[in-house]
Structure 1
């Protein structure tokens, strides 16, 4: 038995949607309830997994004819024992004005009209209706109506006005409504901004046939440029993509060189689901994600041997990676272009690496100069940049790895009713600054947590400016002012520094004046597990497992392999990975060889017989002088902080296994170790025992020393990286289960970037269940630092934040 909560947004009230859900659920012998809410329709259904899967499949397929689903958000929960299925009274909590819809992929009705030569919107690249199209990317204020969108400058023609005002029309009050006569248009520009092709029909020639020919000319010239190897910047829904043909080795290499993206995988856009199936394995859950209204990038396993007529994918798209990041066209413009091209294209963010994506065509000409050969642009302004979301399916559930288009800024409920903070109606407005990497910002209003779109790594001035725009924009959109600002404890995080400067005039830890919000702090890894707690609606006490790269701990050291016992009003760090030194600090994240050196140095302190092995590693990994300097640093503790990071442990083992000494992008070594895992192998796990620390009050430690010795023995015997990787992952899982046995909590919360690893997460979930525990992991909010803002809001909600 399982319970599934389904939050359905769209045209779902006043169209017989609740009676339809009642008939569907009772026909499948499911129990639970359905009710209207200010946000749409909320359903809870409980029953066998197979019946719940049927419910999900039939819900969109058999919905009432006048309804539309803009988003269907799923959360899997523990069963509560409903006795029947009923239609409940409407929920009047919350405010409709607080609901801002995300951007929605083009619906089937609009596509049918766009491909119809007899329709007045034939081949129109901005066709939309109340069921689909831009929302969050064009809103400039609330309430959501046309004057408060970037469509305000386009006056509706008589035909569009008639549709907009007709209650029975699909475009009744569709704020972005437009047609070739009155709406935005396309242009193809040269690298210098000269117009090469205009998608607008000549004055007085706005009949559908002439308008379609003008668009077709622009699309054909763009497709031809792609076939000739050009890099094309395409202005989409929430910003620009950089596109090249996916089969062209030369074009992919040229894009990488210009974008300064050496090896990180590039996303692909396929023209059709049929082509995707010829290249990748696609499960029903993965197909549902690809074809859903959110239309994210979905990580799919490549077929070992592509089908005979499969489109070619250049190896440079995702070097050495068994997966591809795949999406389908989600705007009319993408559909038009991909149908004309007829094969997959690389569709990566329109930016230099580590910068926010471009949203304005003039800005793109400047920032993408030297990268793009051509620019396919339009004149509908973008109010805020919204990147593509990324999803991976694990254990049959979607797990969002990057939360942006299609998901943001939909709210999640906080748990205020269970805390001493009172009801959601009398709580302060709280802004969460998020983390330094993969940043997103959070805003708590009346018991709801609104998460911004993915902002990215705060490593550049452009990224910091993007953070400032979002921090201004999100509260302004909901017409609130933050009364509390929650920060990460690390004073050098970009989010912390920017929040101090923005809200506290750079006064650091000095007392704020009466106009300043209250400043609070939350430990990084506690935020990770609390994000999982609040999303999954888990009871307390619970064991939280936070494994990631780095975060500042309460003791001033670098954490990253932590276990918390979380109770109401109290969180205790009960266990951790054994610590080791990181020579060079943050440089160890870029160079796995440094993490390996730190581990071996600590190991030699236990066993001097391994010193020759350490010296051998130093000679192999470093030039003589650099190795000598690093040896002195780690021996003297100079710029070599203590760390319990699981992420750096992954890096070190990848280095010891001979996979990678330097990273070209974040977590590359750890990913390559994951790719080596043989899920069908029967090798014994490496040992990762618990040991009592020297200090009586300190948390127990998972001791990696026996594990590293076993790794070295396997490597010395000539074992393959697959043996090392598989036994390593199995050892980590055994260690997590062992800590769970000592913690005495049924629920186990799994958070942090390491749980993006498919095998670590899958095997941990399965082994915890076998041992009698109830594991929970992120679903709609990223396990990585993109979920930190939600955890910060949850910490304030639970009273687990602290004054700064």
Structure 2
């Protein structure tokens, strides 16, 4: 006998988070009959009886890791009237729903590993509220057989938990215990030892390679200056700051945290969070020249156990040679990390994909690296993109990342590294194939950077099909608009885009721009006055080259000769005069480099942005100071007056911290003034800030303050640097298709 009923479709991040048992409990409490299941579109519920407030409860009371995008209610007719409410097996294939990111160990599981039950001390304890997800996933729908847990057959005790809808481990696909799950061991000199001995190695100043969720880390005692120096020497990483891991109590011994920063540390994504140094001192080698330290809480049971065994804070840096992808396999670690590690803490659960740790700030809120714990989350496209085609955007050369647009959602990939490195390029190609297969993506358009020399661009051109070339800084602007939900028909926005380099429509190297436009197009309103880059790419590694060019253009060649008496100035000046390997550029990043060199940053940068970070740290030690002047000319925003004012400060012995502060304030105000004018004149509805320079917290704050009283759009969940470029490319390609 047929009976009318109700069907409820729940879309969003609703698989692998305990959503079906949550629905089962709601139905039981309301005396409803029917079924709930997973399918390629999310969760499907069919019910007999009056559902009352059930649809509202699905949103309001959802499990901790769930993200509900939509609850759609429609009529359903039952052929056979159900006698009870049941959870049924997944149906269908394909990928129309979201995948849950990996999540940090929940309090209940942490209590178990420190309790007296059967999971005491077990390094792979998890439940539906925590544990590995994306890092073990091989296919959708998210079932154990489609993960790297497939080889581990559940024991009767785990099976009973898995099958019980009232248990928090109901259908927890990575469920395991010491009797049936992955095994942990310590390997030293090719021989197995007790995992707890890893603590002994660390306390003795040794280095341990630790297999985590998305790859290996190299760990050492963060309080041991000798161990930190050995790790730097072995990894060939002279100055780039190391990430740190400790429990919150220990973190507060070495840093301070606001409530917002503490909340970010405790977030299920467990990112690295930048916190100011405070309290006890750590060795300078942990983060040379930096006032901020990158801390994360232990985010797996293994990490909690390791912190307990070591008894103090640990350096936890990626297990790789600097610039190469993170190691993920046991044999790969034995070969590649042999020269680095005194021991290997390993297990036999495979890692499906490499995931670096995410890096974030809480004030101002921003994502510096989009990776583990945040991917593969999606972003709803703004109004006007409802009919957007499926787009694959391939990003830039630095901070590689791709973006997929499908069903009104944008999915930005994890950080893929710098594609100058051949191994990172190989990982990029793997990621493109992986994401397209996993999310059943069929690109109707491929979006790439307009620079023909970028490897991501070359990869897109080789794929066939319609390719949309997007200029670098337009993509930065569009990424900020899309993240902030700016409607497609929302009108023009003034975009301050400050970064290192990117090809402009005029064929020159841009990097310090004020744009006016939207998704379909953007025009350049003003920019930093172009200055030669002596030596081309070498100028991005050796800041003194930029200082020489800037001072010469500003009419301060005599001062340049005095400051850089030991540098090959004549050779570079001849090259600039002849136009040999000295392209003009409006780059704000290179202006930062030049000013850092002016204040004493010497030598070559060992990592991208080192000089700028050093300058920001220096400026953070000064109080308020007046801004250096920039001139508005037909050639752009000219820093020559700033250099002349700096020369006067230098002559009178002004502290370099104050000069660094004045530089930041001058750059912020130089761009804020014309952007504000565009809004005041009605040409723009808001100002957007994008580009890697806006990951500088001081510049970010100063620019926002200079724009007080007008709408300002900033990046919070998408990186302002090239890690967010693919999102901008994707929405531009989608918008241009609609306007064709």
Q: Specify if TM > 0.5.
A: yes
- RMSD in angstroms over aligned alpha carbons? 2.8
2:628 to 680, 686, 698: 686
Match of 1:707 in 2: 642
Match of 2:256 in 1: 281
Contact 1:654 1:669 in 2 (8 A): yes
Distance 1:591 1:762, change over 3 A: same
Secondary structure at the aligned position of 1:218 is classed as coil
- 1:568: how far off? 5.6
Deviates more, 1:565-574 or 1:161-170: 565-574
**After superposition, where does 1:403-482 map in structure 2 within 5 Å?**
403-415=370-382, 417-418=383-384, 423-424=386-387, 427-482=388-443
Contact 1:570 1:800 in 2 (8 A): no
Contact 2:515 2:524 in 1 (8 A): yes
Match of 1:338 in 2: 307
Contact 1:8 1:40 in 2 (8 A): no
- 1:329: how far off? 0.3
**After superposition, where does 1:76-115 map in structure 2 within 5 Å?**
97-115=96-114
Contact 2:390 2:442 in 1 (8 A): yes
| Per-residue deviation, residues 642-674 of structure 1 (Å, max 9, x unmatched) | 000000001111111223343122111111111
Alignment partners' CA distance in 1, 2:74 and 2:540: 48
- 1:18: how far off? 14
Alignment partners' CA distance in 1, 2:277 and 2:68: 27
Distance 1:254 1:170, change over 3 A: same
**After superposition, where does 1:645-684 map in structure 2 within 5 Å?**
645-678=587-620, 681-684=623-626
1:218 to 181, 191, 195: 195
1:754 to 693, 703, 715: 693
TM-score normalised according to structure 1 size? 0.80
Alignment partners' CA distance in 1, 2:644 and 2:243: 39
Alignment partners' CA distance in 1, 2:251 and 2:343: 27
Alignment partners' CA distance in 1, 2:21 and 2:345: 41
Contact 2:122 2:301 in 1 (8 A): yes
1:791 to 724, 728, 734: 728
Contact 2:689 2:715 in 1 (8 A): yes
1:401 to 368, 379, 392: 368
Match of 1:556 in 2: 507
Secondary structure at the aligned position of 1:544 is classed as strand
Contact 1:12 1:69 in 2 (8 A): no
2:485 to 505, 524, 537: 537
Distance 1:603 1:710, change over 3 A: same
Alignment partners' CA distance in 2, 1:399 and 1:17: 37
Contact 1:520 1:802 in 2 (8 A): no
Distance 1:436 1:123, change over 3 A: same
- 1:167: how far off? 1.2
Alignment partners' CA distance in 1, 2:472 and 2:436: 23
- 1:347: how far off? 0.2
Contact 1:188 1:374 in 2 (8 A): yes
Does 2:331 align with 1:374?
no
Distance 1:710 1:71, change over 3 A: farther
Alignment partners' CA distance in 1, 2:405 and 2:728: 11
- 1:39: how far off? 6.6
Contact 1:97 1:142 in 2 (8 A): no
Distance 1:523 1:636, change over 3 A: same
Secondary structure at the aligned position of 1:787 is classed as helix
Match of 2:553 in 1: 602
Contact 2:154 2:181 in 1 (8 A): yes
Q: Structure 1: which 5+ runs fail to align?
A: 1-6, 20-36, 42-58, 75-86, 198-216, 504-515, 605-609, 694-700
Alignment partners' CA distance in 2, 1:181 and 1:69: 28
Alignment partners' CA distance in 2, 1:618 and 1:680: 26
Match of 1:48 in 2: none
**After superposition, where does 1:603-622 map in structure 2 within 5 Å?**
603-604=554-555, 610-620=556-566, 622=567
Distance 1:447 1:434, change over 3 A: same
Distance 1:481 1:496, change over 3 A: same
| Per-residue deviation, residues 374-429 of structure 1 (Å, max 9, x unmatched) | 1110000000011100001124xx311101111011111123x425xxx33xx432
Alignment partners' CA distance in 2, 1:578 and 1:394: 31
| Per-residue deviation, residues 330-353 of structure 1 (Å, max 9, x unmatched) | 001001111121210000001000
Alignment partners' CA distance in 2, 1:627 and 1:642: 18
Secondary structure at the aligned position of 2:565 is classed as helix
Secondary structure at the aligned position of 1:619 is classed as coil
Deviates more, 1:398-407 or 1:659-668: 659-668
Q: How many residues align?
A: 677
1:68 to 63, 68, 77: 63
- 1:284: how far off? 0.8
Contact 1:795 1:801 in 2 (8 A): no
Alignment partners' CA distance in 1, 2:624 and 2:510: 32
Distance 1:251 1:457, change over 3 A: same
Match of 2:719 in 1: 782
Secondary structure at the aligned position of 1:726 is classed as helix
**After superposition, where does 1:289-304 map in structure 2 within 5 Å?**
289-303=264-278
Does 2:145 align with 1:147?
yes
Contact 1:520 1:801 in 2 (8 A): no
Distance 1:619 1:342, change over 3 A: same
| Per-residue deviation, residues 468-510 of structure 1 (Å, max 9, x unmatched) | 1101100000122323211111122232233344x1xxxxxxx
TM-score normalised according to structure 2 size? 0.87
Distance 1:172 1:14, change over 3 A: closer
2:573 to 606, 614, 631: 631
Secondary structure at the aligned position of 1:362 is classed as helix
Match of 2:86 in 1: none
Contact 2:184 2:347 in 1 (8 A): yes
Match of 1:196 in 2: 192
